[in-house]
Amino acid sequence: MRHGLLVPVFLLIWVQVELCGFVQCQPPKVVNIAAVFTHNSVIGSSAKTGIEAAIDDINNDQSILKGIRLNLIMRDSNCSVFAGAVQVFQVLEQEVVAIIGPQSSSIARMISFIASGLQVPIVSFAATDPTLSSLQFPYFLRMTQSDLYQMAAIADLIDYYEWKEFISIYVDDDNGRNGMSYLEEKLSEKLKTVYKWPLPVKANSSVISGVLEKTKSFGTRVYVVHVNPDSGLEIFSIAKRLQMMTRDYVWLTTDWLSASLDSSLHMNHSTLNMLQGVVGLRQHVLDFEQKKAILLRKRNMIKEGLVSSCMNNYGFYAYDTVWVVARAIDELLKQNSTITFTFGKAQNSKQGSVLQLGKLKTFDDGPLLLEKLKQINFTGLTGKVQFDSFRNRVNNAYDVINIDQEAVKIIGYWSGHSGFSVIPPEKLNSETKSTSEMDHKLLNASWPGEEIVKPRGWVAATNNRPLRIGIPNRATYVEFVTEDHETHEIRGYCIDVFNALLRFLPYDVPHRFIPFGDGKSNPSYDELVRMVAEDVFDAAIGDITIITNRTRNADFTQPYAANGLVIVIPNRNSNSGAWVFLKPFTADMWGITAAFFIVIGLVIWILEHRINDDFRGPPRRQFITMILFSFSTLFKTNQEDTISTLGRMVMMVWLFLLMVITSSYTASLTSILTIQQLSSPITGMDSLITSNQPIGYQVGSFVGSYLTNSLNIPKSRLVVLKGPDDYAEKLSLGPTHGGVAAVVDELPYVNLFLSEWKDFGIVGEMITKNGWGFVFKKGSPLAIDVSTEILRLSESGDLEKIRDKWFCKDGCEAGRHVSDPYQLHLDSFWGLFFLCGSVTLTALIIFLLKTVRQFVRYKKKQRDLLSQYSSATSSTRCAQAVYSFFNFIDEKEEAIKKIFKQYEDPQSMTV
């Protein structure tokens, strides 16, 4: 009985299953897909051609979908988020299984909410906004290349050319803002400054012109333009009019420019000439035969007047997008032969309310189709087609293009895997690693103004915005830098150095000096450096010491003046020691005095030798007499008397000189040995720290903080001093009378102080060794160039000449160390030495003239009497004459006179 009832039941079930198989579960003959984009845009017009070509190729290809026709429903979003959303609602009512597009990231963001709710995948060929994430929009897939990669390519381009600043100009929408934010993030560790200038979505020429005019006031000359291809060329047209397409400017663009250029039917020469030197990106597309066939089809449509633009790479991405959807549908139908939609499934909220969305249906097989899309893996016109875990296209690559000589040239390629190369990515991947590493570069680019040398990418300043240079308005030591209160002229040693550097720079630096301080007291140099860091000044020029705390806030050039801290105290005397007797004279005084002793002895010997028996005898005796004679006069014990008139004249002057020198020496030595002078207990850095006596330093200087923080000297010991007059007063008073025991200051100031005040000197070694430098903002390329010119100025000797001009008008000397004030210098006695030397030289000349005259007379007499016996040559006679002259001088005066008498009375001569 039971078995009899089961048979009809099974028969009924079997009939229902068979009916389902033949009626309801039959594969569909038509599958609807939608394409929503802006038809009359640069990207949309190419995409339309690519989509239509793909639909034709798929429907004519028997290897895919196998008789199922792919029906395309196209809608025009008209660049409007609202219109795009309305169009999406309309196509969703027609049971589409996938949406191709949109090209706008803003529209994609809006319709992704709708499509995700209805389980309809969206595959976009042009939405590049990197924030369209798979977590927020699980049914959104990106067939084009995300701006994550495009901005990485731009970042690598900026880094490749070593630019440190850039100005971004972008459309103020989701795509523009998010793309530029990612670019800034990629370069955050390498760049110093990014100036961002957004444009309204539909900016007119006056708005664009205003933005570009503002950017000209900055020193940066590297521009990154990320706008829409439909209106981007107007930016360059305005830039050309504003003379911003000249040398020193750099223009980098994202792929919108290549899309615009590739779409133009007839790119005129003026447009390409306007874009001279622009470097941009183009999405890389393989060169397949199928691509050429599509381009031929496009050309035929142009000839027939059906379209008015060429096809850019976005058209090929749209072509591959349709094939991706078709392949996924094919795989879906192989696994599940039906495509079903259900009313109301996604319209019920969690609270149980029902959303009235008209005829919208949920695509039941949407999750399965999404999985098939994620598994797609084939090679299309645009290269390898595959999605990563975030549903973004993998294997991203770009062409690097350059507009040169009215042509678009490829100067290299960029890939997310290999970076820059002159080899196309698809070939580079097959090369060996060593070859790849060798090809990570670009070909030489041409730049605006037809420059072939890479622009610096910045200018120091312009005439409209000159460099703002802060200078310390000093009240003391004004020789270094200050403002003249009457003429308001900025002058000084530091200013002359800076102006000399500007003459060597290969570019102009318009600038204006801005005094910092009231001129009544020295300003704080730490505050001046801080103002440069805070962009109040662009630079600071002056006697600014390079120290660690300041380099954290700003960049310094190479030192242009050596510097260091030294200790100044009153001159003091050490009145003990084995060699104290040498202290009354300086070394040069001792040297010239000793030389005169020898010269006077030699001259007296010459003058007395012929007439004074005390100066005759064996050579050894004569030499000793000559050496000891002048020294014995010092003690009035000389045994030899001077007979000649000339000798007595020399001795008179010499004895007068000795009297002055000996009396001065005695007085100085007595003072050194007996007079107690004021002295400082500070002899160097160690005693400076351990002493408890007050120490002075210059107002506005870093010395106070250095003594406190680095040497741990209590602030209570430090006394702020205004300048050199204050130094002299406080040092002279000493610590017991309200003064200071020492002053610590920088060496250039101390040298200038000691050149005017002789009663003070440097003690100990230099505490620190640093220098003065010019200050610029962090990362300023001008600091590097100025540093280079400082080295060149130093090597040429011009830096030393500038220093001599200001501080060595009467001759330069190194910093004077502490010495005895009672020490006698040659400067005090050079008049006496000159008088003594003049008289001695005069006496010697008179003697020589007299002797030569006598010798000539002697030789004449001799020649007259003995000429008949002479047969020697002229050379022999010359040698004999010289020899005879020295013999003549060595003879006594009486003997010579006797010979003259014999020559006058020939009868007395024996034959």
Least confident interval from 8-22, 155-169, 209-223, 261-275:
8-22
The CA distance from 583 to 589, in Å, is 11
Question: Residue 13: pLDDT band by 50, 70, 90 thresholds?
Answer: very low
CB of 505 closer than 8 Å to CB of 785: yes
The CA distance from 81 to 109, in Å, is 9
The residue with greater pLDDT, 180 or 579, is 180
Reported as a single tens digit per residue, the pLDDT across 448-498 is: 988 889 998 888 888 878 999 999 998 888 889 988 878 888 999 999 999
344, amino acid identity: G
**Who contacts 479 (Cβ-Cβ below 8 Å, separation ≥6)?**
492, 493, 752, 806, 807
The CA distance from 528 to 514, in Å, is 11
Mean pLDDT of 141-170: 91
- Return the pLDDT at 232: 86
- Return the pLDDT at 22: 41
Least confident interval from 147-156, 538-547, 826-835:
826-835
- Return the pLDDT at 417: 83
Least confident interval from 414-418, 694-698, 865-869, 897-901:
865-869
The residue with greater pLDDT, 272 or 779, is 272
In the 8-state DSSP scheme, what is residue 826? G
In the 8-state DSSP scheme, what is residue 24? I
- Return the pLDDT at 23: 42
Q: Which residues pair with 380 in a beta bridge?
A: 383
Contacts by residues 818-821 (CB-CB < 8 Å, ≥ 24 positions apart): 818/569, 818/571, 818/572, 818/761, 818/762, 818/763, 819/571, 819/761, 820/571, 820/573, 820/583, 820/672, 821/571, 821/573, 821/677, 821/758, 821/759
- Return the pLDDT at 500: 92
The CA distance from 495 to 479, in Å, is 10
**Given a cut of 50, is residue 603 above it in pLDDT?**
yes
- Return the pLDDT at 621: 77
How, if at all, do strands 555-556 and 775-776 pair? Answer: antiparallel
285: tokens are: 């597309």
Question: Residue 12: pLDDT band by 50, 70, 90 thresholds?
Answer: very low
743, amino acid identity: V
- Return the pLDDT at 7: 43
**Given a cut of 50, is residue 166 above it in pLDDT?**
yes
- Return the pLDDT at 5: 43
Reported as a single tens digit per residue, the pLDDT across 99-149 is: 998 888 888 888 888 888 899 999 999 888 888 877 788 999 999 888 889
Closest among 307, 272, 335 to 50, alpha carbons compared: 307
630-661 per-residue burial string, b: 16 or more CB within 10 A, e: under 16: beebeeeebebebebebbebbbebbeebbeeb
Reported as a single tens digit per residue, the pLDDT across 56-99 is: 889 988 889 888 999 999 999 888 888 888 888 889 889 999 99
CB of 440 closer than 8 Å to CB of 421: yes
Mean pLDDT of 340-348: 68
The residue with greater pLDDT, 241 or 25, is 241
DSSP, residue by residue, 657-680 = HHHHHHHHHHHHHHHHHHPPPP--
Least confident interval from 113-117, 621-625, 751-755:
621-625
The CA distance from 609 to 252, in Å, is 97
- Return the pLDDT at 911: 40
The residue with greater pLDDT, 681 or 397, is 397
CB of 550 closer than 8 Å to CB of 556: yes
The CA distance from 428 to 417, in Å, is 10
- Return the pLDDT at 99: 94
Give helix then strand counts, H and E, for the chain. 30, 31
Q: Is the dihedral of CA 806, 812, 814, 818 positive or negative?
A: negative
The CA distance from 364 to 371, in Å, is 13
892, amino acid identity: K
- Return the pLDDT at 332: 92
128 dihedral zone (left: phi>0; alpha: psi -120 to 50; beta): alpha
The residue with greater pLDDT, 390 or 887, is 390
Closest among 785, 783, 787, 781 to 221, alpha carbons compared: 781
The CA distance from 613 to 637, in Å, is 18
Question: Residue 764: pLDDT band by 50, 70, 90 thresholds?
Answer: confident
> How many C-beta atoms lie closer than 10 Å to residue 451's C-beta?
16
DSSP, residue by residue, 590-617 = HHHHHHHHHHHHHHHHHHHTTT-GGG-S
**Given a cut of 50, is residue 873 above it in pLDDT?**
no
Distance of CA 33 to the CA centre of its chain: 57
**What phi and psi, each to the nearest 5 degrees, are found at residue 417?**
-95, -35
**What phi and psi, each to the nearest 5 degrees, are found at residue 897?**
-65, -35
Distance of CA 489 to the CA centre of its chain: 30
- Return the pLDDT at 351: 44
**Who contacts 867 (Cβ-Cβ below 8 Å, separation ≥6)?**
none
Reported as a single tens digit per residue, the pLDDT across 581-597 is: 777 888 888 888 888 88
Closest among 241, 263, 360 to 46, alpha carbons compared: 263
Reported as a single tens digit per residue, the pLDDT across 247-292 is: 889 999 999 999 988 887 556 778 888 999 999 999 988 776 565 6
- Total length of the chain: 911
763: tokens are: 């003690």
CB of 235 closer than 8 Å to CB of 253: no
CB of 593 closer than 8 Å to CB of 660: no
User: Please, what is the average pLDDT of the chain?
Assistant: 81
- Return the pLDDT at 297: 63
The residue with greater pLDDT, 12 or 119, is 119
Least confident interval from 238-247, 296-305, 371-380, 478-487:
296-305
**What phi and psi, each to the nearest 5 degrees, are found at residue 226?**
-130, 85
Mean pLDDT of 395-421: 90
**Given a cut of 60, is residue 16 above it in pLDDT?**
no
The CA distance from 42 to 263, in Å, is 6
Least confident interval from 258-262, 511-515, 759-763:
759-763
Question: Residue 357: pLDDT band by 50, 70, 90 thresholds?
Answer: low
Share of the chain above pLDDT 90, in %: 28
Output helix, strand, coil percentages for the chain, rounded to the nearest 5: 45, 15, 35
Closest among 66, 69, 64, 97 to 368, alpha carbons compared: 97
Query: Helix axis angle, 289-303 relative to 42-59, nearest 10°?
Result: 110
Question: Residue 539: pLDDT band by 50, 70, 90 thresholds?
Answer: very high
- Integer angstrom CA distances of residue 671 from 178, 598, 680, 728: 85, 29, 19, 23
